[in-house]
Structure 1
Amino acid sequence: MTTENKSIGNINDTEMATPLDQHEEGGALDLPSGWMYKQFRVFGRNFPWYASPRVQLVMVAFVCFMCPGMFNALGGMGGGGRTDPTLSDNMNTALYSAFAVFGFFGGTFVNKLGVKWTLAFGGIGYMLYAISLLVSLDHHVPGFNLFAGAFLGICAGLLWTAQGTIMISYPTENRKGTYFAWFWGIFNMGAVVGSLIPLGQNMHTKVNVTVSSGTYIGFIVLMGIGALLALCLCNAKDIVRPDGSRVILMKHPSWQSEFKGLWETLRFEPFVVLLFPMFFVSNWFYVYQQNSVNGAHFTTRTKALNSLLYWLAQIIAAGIWGVLLDVKSVRRSVRAKITWVVLFILTFAIWGGGYAYEKTYTRASVAEGSGFVATDWETPGYVGPMFLYLFYGFYDAAWQASIYWFMGALSNSGRRSANYVGFYKGIQSIGAAVVNNLDARKLSYKKEFISNWVLLGVALAVAAPVIFLKIRDHVDVEDDLAGTDETIADVLPADHPEKVAREVGGA
């Protein structure tokens, strides 16, 4: 059965031929005029136009490569590169508190300002954050540090909401997992490259010390480039998918209607609240992994190596998850159930290994002046903790990929996607703010670990009903537009049979 003989609302992701593949094989597509839609053919293959989902996703990935990717490299060292994580904890508490507010309402800003300007503004905060850490090496500037953390929270809330909106609303239904894999791989390569900076500068440092000013300067330059790159993006209204369809957007958004849209999102799919615990814990485990494991137990050069392996594992996991989540031979509702089961198994396997390692030390035993000797990669027995930390990175990517895919499976609407991601980043940041504050108060490593394992298990249990009962094999366009000002004719390609039929019939 061909797609031309079917309503777009009745095509499921196991029946639909891959639009991207159709384009690559040279299928005809009537694109708008203008430089953004020029196509090039190299070595017998068509390259996607500038305003295509693939090109825009790659560009967004490189923005995140430069900005949050470098931020993750700093955080992966534990304490923002410092031996004492207290300053970083306090900055991150301010960061995620602000992030929670602006992440929660981020969809409103994305729909009003557009993804290009939202991402560009978002990138500025990362650069200021690194500048404040550089200044604090030689000067006591807690006010500036807290301001930089809070400002980054505002910027990051907007950046990640814009990024998430692009990632789950630009692709067609049967490409969402693959697009996540592309993005997550490029984005985390930023953290890998960022980890090489302190690794190279501290190759011979066999003790645990604060990184040098040169490390921070390198991060600042790369973050600034990322913010400028965001200005080269197209806005969502200009994007044309390979099947000729466009991203669903509101015609004339207003601040009032956009805030109302947050409520409409919950009314449209109230079951999404069952994903909130997964959102809450999705950044909770970073503090334990980066500060209480990597930052507390290893030499500076080994922390950099561990961080590099952690983010490499994320790339590998994203590639695996992206492919498996889009397997067309298995119905999407079945894939959702399998994903939940695999996450449940990984939670108890990986964190079970983490429990065995956590029992070997405490805050008091590794504190300065305790006589503790930091573990180096030349220390006998290092391989076990190294693999544990690598699997922590693998688990993080699997968890995040699953959340994005679950949200994308609930809706194809750009407006609802922005609001889903806003909920995700806002609630995620509340959890991060809480756990950073607890770490600054020197909560015991054992309690930190237990909080991670328990919250992850509970989150999976609470999310089970929405994953098992509400994720369908396909979301109809009519359902996506319920409660909005759009009509089906507004979002179908101009030559789609259903649109032509409605226009002829006066619908």
Structure 2
Amino acid sequence: MATENKNMGVDELATPHEHNDQDHGPQTPDLPQGWMYRQRRIFGLNVPWYASPRVQLVMVAFVCFMCPGMFNALGGMGGGGRTDATLADNMNTALYATFAVFGIFGGTFVNRLGVKWTLAFGGTGYCIYAISLLVSLYADVEGFNIFAGVFLGICAGLLWTAQGTIMISYPSEDKKGTYFAWFWGIFNMGAVIGSLIPLGQNINITTNATVSPGTYIGFIVLMAIGAVLALCLCNANDIVRPDGTRVILMKNPSWQSELMGLWETLRFEPFVILLFPMFFSSNWFYVYQQNGMNSAHFDTRTKALNNLLYYLAQIGAAAIWGILLDVQSVKRSLRAKVTWAVLFVLTMAIWGGGYAYEKTYTRATVGAADFQSTDWTSHGYVGPMFLYIFYGFYDAAWQASIYWFMGALSNSGRRSANYVGFYKGIQSVGAAIVNNLDARKLSYEKEFISNWVLLSASLIVAAPVIFLKIRDHVDVEDDLAGTDETLADVLPAEHPEKVGA
């Protein structure tokens, strides 16, 4: 029974300097029996066991590569690939309104059902969404389109909560930034490849036109593959870290215990509420960037190129940000403060440059009969191209920082699921509001200013939790608060001297 208890709830207990930070190598933990824990050599390299954090993170990254990665590529074209963004705005308003509810309660579903089934179900919504856009090319199916948005809201809320739980609770404390970089890079390669599909199919279209049916079919096939791939994941209770520890989980979660866990999460660290404005603004800027800039001002092939560059910039930013967030020569509390300061400077610099560009056009000017869409061969294209690249860089930096801040507050899988649930739910409230405003044809200037103000203000509100509550290490006793685990249950065998400490 002692072994069973340990396998149900072991979390990271060693201090950072005690970790073996490699998922493979000559020193490995005592692993359970079974195929999930066998190590192999491929092309002369030691490959980590299947149920290791690294392998599972790569797998969930490929699920997101296929599903939300392709969705981002489609959305990045502006209007879901259509010239008029109204239908996509209405679908996305329904999507994010539903996402807000299921995002907030997503941690409850993840803890109750497990990450594998939650991710697999979540992936199906992306296929339905793309199918509805394809059908809308041939018939007026607005009811189906809105249903697809609502259904994707449910699915995305569950998928992203499961993904975030894996990303911030599976790695050890000194690898959370690096794991984000791996995930964000692979995930955004989906959007990069997804951007190449419309770019290749519309390479000769120098007008602003709806993308071809073949583009939608390509997205649908890839999204379906991603949903099936999620079934190959392990659940959190099977994961063994390189130091032999596991993830803290509630032993026998019920729906009632998990709903109570939402309250326990806020009681454990009430200052997390100060991060909520950052959560709220984290998807707000997509509507202006994709609809108010890319879709409004550029022709079809240039929109696809801008989209490609945007997500390539995200990959580069994730690599830089993830590595710098894990610099062990600098205390984690100091890294948090520096991250906040750099984000504030980037907000002022990049969005300041964006305002200078936004003032050059309005909804009226781009909707005029004599308006000429900008092509990549047009004079003056280079400036807005680099602005769009910097927008992509900023997006990855903002998301990476939020995930890292949440991961610095706890190592518990259960608590992390609830943090991510709050993040995705509140993020989606903001996205639902701004999509509705865009559908109502809010001026581009007001959309832009709302972004700059929200991002700047949310950093100021978040400063107390970042400066005062992020510590260099989270003790296991703190992470056990609110679960039915005891210290004796979760300590690995190699640390028996800590029992009763």
Q: What's the TM-score bracket when you normalise by the shorter of the two chains? A: over 0.9
After TM superposition, the structure 1 = structure 2 runs for residues 100-499 of structure 1, keeping only pairs within 5 Å, are 100-367=100-367, 369-498=368-497
Q: CA deviation at 1:482?
A: 1.2
Helix, strand or coil at the partner of 2:41: strand
What's 2:21 paired with? Answer: 20
C-alpha separation between the residues in 2 aligned to 1:378 and 1:63? 36
Provide TM-score, normalisation by structure 1: 0.95
Task: Report the counterpart of residue 54 of structure 2 in structure 1.
Answer: 54
State the one-letter code of the partner of 1:265.
Answer: T
What is the RMSD computed on CA atoms of the aligned residues? 1.3
Q: CA deviation at 1:315?
A: 0.3
The one-letter code of the counterpart of 2:477 is E
Amino acid at match of 1:333: S
Deviations 1:323-351 (A, max 9, x none): 00000000000000000000000000000
Matched residues in 1 for 2:197 and 2:493: separation? 50
1:276 touches 1:424 (CA, 8 Å); kept in 2? yes
User: What is the deviation of 1:44?
Assistant: 5.3
Counterparts of 1:302 and 1:204 in 2: how far apart (Å)? 10
Structure 2: which amino acid aligns with 1:86? T
Q: Deviations over 1:218-274 (max 9, x none)?
A: 000000000000000001110100100011100010111100000010011000000
Q: CA deviation at 1:488?
A: 1.9
- 1:352-406 CA-to-partner distances (Å, cap 9, x unmatched) read 0000000000000001x43110000000110000000000000000000000000
Letter in 2 for 1:364: A
Unpaired segments of 5 or more residues in structure 1? 1-7
CA distance in 2, matches of 1:351, 1:497: 53
Q: Displacement of 1:29 after TM fit?
A: 2.0
Q: Distance in 2 between matches of 1:390 and 1:60?
A: 26
Q: Secondary structure at the match of 2:21?
A: helix
1:311 shift after superposition: 0.4
Runs of at least 4 residues off by over 6 Å: none
The CA distance in 1 between the partners of 2:66 and 2:122, in whole Å, is: 12
3-state SS, counterpart of residue 234 of structure 2: coil
Query: What is the SS of the residue equivalent to 1:24?
Result: coil
Q: Secondary structure at the match of 1:214?
A: helix
User: What residue identity is the alignment partner of 1:357?
Assistant: Y
The residue that corresponds to 1:97 in the other structure is: 97
Q: Distance in 1 between matches of 2:33 and 2:308?
A: 44
SS in 2 for 1:46: strand
- After superposition, residues 78-89 of structure 1 pair within 5 angstroms as 78-89=78-89
Per the TM alignment, residue 40 of structure 1 is displaced from its structure 2 partner at its CA by 1.1
Identity %: 80
Query: For residues 317 and 224 of structure 1, what CA distance do their matches in structure 2 show?
Result: 28
Residue type at the aligned position of 1:251: K
CA contact (8 A) 1:9 1:478 kept: no
Residue 46 of structure 2 aligns to a residue whose secondary structure is strand
Whole-Å separation in 1 of the counterparts to 2:344 and 2:91: 33
1:180 is displaced (CA, Å) by 0.3
Superposition deviation, residue 20 in structure 1: 3.1
Distance 2:238 2:493 in 1: 15
8 A Cα contact 2:350 2:387, kept in partner: yes
With normalisation by structure 2, the TM-score equals 0.96
Query: 5+ residue gaps in structure 2?
Result: 1-10
CA distance in 2, matches of 1:246, 1:77: 41
Distance 2:423 2:12 in 1: 27
Question: In 2, Cα distance between the equivalents of 1:489 and 1:48?
Answer: 28
- TM-superposed deviation, 1:55: 0.3
Q: Note the alpha carbon deviations across 1:91-113, whole angstroms, 9 max, x for none.
A: 00000000000000000000000
Structure 1 partner of 2:4: none
- Contact between 2:28 and 2:242, CA under 8 Å: does it hold in 1? no
Aligned partners of 2:12 and 2:172 also within 8 Å? no
Q: 1:372 to 1:353 in 2, by over 3 A?
A: same
